[in-house]
Amino acid sequence: MLKFITLLCCTTLLAISSFASANVITTDVFVTESDKAGSVPRLYFTVTKAGDFSFDALGSRLLGDTFNIDPMMYIFKNDGALDSNDFLAMNDDSNGKDSHIDLTLSVGNYLIAVSEYFFEMDNVISGIDDSISDPNKYIRLSIASTNGGEVSVPAPATIFLLLMGLLMLGFSYKKSIK
């Protein structure tokens, strides 16, 4: 019976890892000045259920000295070849210095790019942001559904669930060969 319960738990965790999604995601991104490609912080996400979403980039409001930055945020459709045709929305100062966007999204792939004011669309597309006046700060990004839409959980969370399931499966196998 114990083997059956262990196997059931392992199978459940593996199944959950394949279908994990949420209607709220919050993460901190590190902003630093660089003339190298990839220096623009981007959060890639997939909308798995269409809906209305609220996006926030918090740098100054409620987050103390560590987050004392004036963020700008861009949202793009992610079709694999980022260009200005993929642009959906941009915001600089919606609530004090912080950025906020409300947007209705259909099922598909998207990305959020953030950096410090003054951050241009060319920076997002090139992936290079070499104009930061206050480097080495964090911006807190959050995506929330306001009416039941769902966004896929970033890969590290689903990978964790998969690894936990595999770990439990390994332990149950080790016990069964004793």
pLDDT for 36 equals 56
Closest CA to 139 of 84, 38, 46, 66: 66
Tokens, residue 116: 């410090």
* 3 state DSSP class of 71: strand
Average pLDDT over residues 4-31: 48
Predicted confidence (pLDDT) per residue in 61-107, tens digit = 555 555 567 778 888 899 888 888 998 988 887 666 778 888 888 89
pLDDT for 77 equals 92
Query: What strand order describes the sheet that includes 51-58?
Result: 24-31, 137-145, 51-58, 99-105
User: From CA 132, how far away is CA 137, in angstroms rounded?
Assistant: 10
Predicted confidence (pLDDT) per residue in 26-74, tens digit = 655 555 555 555 567 777 888 888 888 888 877 765 555 555 677 788 8
Asked if residue 74 lies in contact with residue 121, where contact means CB atoms within 8 angstroms, the answer is yes
Examine the pLDDT at 9 and tell me if it is beyond 60.
no
Alpha-carbon distances, residue 22 vs 57, 62, 70, 173 (angstroms): 18, 24, 28, 32
Question: Helices marked H in 45-142 — which ranges?
Answer: 121-126
CA angle centred on 165, ends 3 and 44, rounded to 5°? 165
Alpha-carbon distances, residue 155 vs 80, 103, 159 (angstroms): 18, 23, 6
Predicted confidence (pLDDT) per residue in 102-159, tens digit = 888 889 899 888 877 777 777 777 777 766 666 566 777 777 887 766 666 455 444 4
Where does the pLDDT of residue 25 fall: very low under 50, low under 70, confident under 90, or very high at 90 and above? Answer: low
Cite the beta strand spans of the chain per DSSP E: 21-22, 24-31, 42-49, 51-58, 71-77, 87-91, 99-105, 108-116, 137-145, 150-152
What's the half-sphere exposure (Cβ side, CA atoms, 13 Å) at 35? 0
Cα-trace Rg, the chain: 20
